[in-house]
């Protein structure tokens, strides 16, 4: 239900679902992969159009530097999303993410940003 609320950009449903659950259970769920690429709800929230989704979920996660199957972190998803990147990056930095973290190809956040700039 959490992923559906994120996909639907439904803040009200997301808040309702989260308030019905134990804080620790929510954190465990948000850190758990939900697809074959091992992306978590935090990855999807980082990509989401509405910054409030990420803000809500970050209240439940202490260390959001979670890697997917390729080693990509939510911060790397923010760069690729093009949606309020600066605001989302600030939220993640305030949670002490490692901005120099490399994915499994050896790419950092800076590599991803430069590549997107070349395409765009």
Cα separation, 116 vs 120, in Å, equals 6
pLDDT of 82: 72
Q: What is the DSSP letter of 106?
A: S
Task: Spell out the alpha helix ranges (H) of the chain.
Answer: 2-7, 11-19, 23-31, 41-47, 51-58, 74-81, 85-94, 109-119
Q: Where are the domains of the chain?
A: 2-119
Q: Domain 2-119: what homologous superfamily? A: Ankyrin repeat-containing domain (1.25.40.20)
Tens-digit pLDDT profile for residues 84-110:
889 999 999 999 999 999 999 999 988
> Looking at per-residue confidence, does 29 or 84 come out higher?
29
What pLDDT does 28 receive? 95
Q: What Å distances lie between residue 16 and 12, 56, 66, 91, CA to CA?
A: 6, 12, 25, 22
pLDDT over threshold 90, residue 34: yes
The structure's pTM equals 0.90
């Amino acid at each position: 239900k959490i992923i559906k609320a994120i996909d639907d950009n439904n803040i009200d449903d997301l808040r309702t679902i989260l308030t019905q659950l134990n804080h620790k259970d929510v954190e465990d769920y948000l850190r758990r992969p939900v697809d074959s690429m091992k992306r978590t709800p935090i990855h999807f929230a980082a990509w989401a159009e509405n910054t409030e989704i990420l803000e809500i979920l970050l209240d439940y996660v202490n260390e959001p530097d979670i890697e997917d199957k390729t080693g990509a972190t939510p911060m790397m998803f923010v760069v690729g999303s093009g949606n309020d990147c600066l605001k989302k990056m600030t939220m993640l930095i305030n949670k002490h993410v490692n901005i120099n973290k490399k994915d499994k190809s050896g790419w950092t956040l800076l590599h991803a940003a430069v590549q997107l700039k070349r395409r765009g």
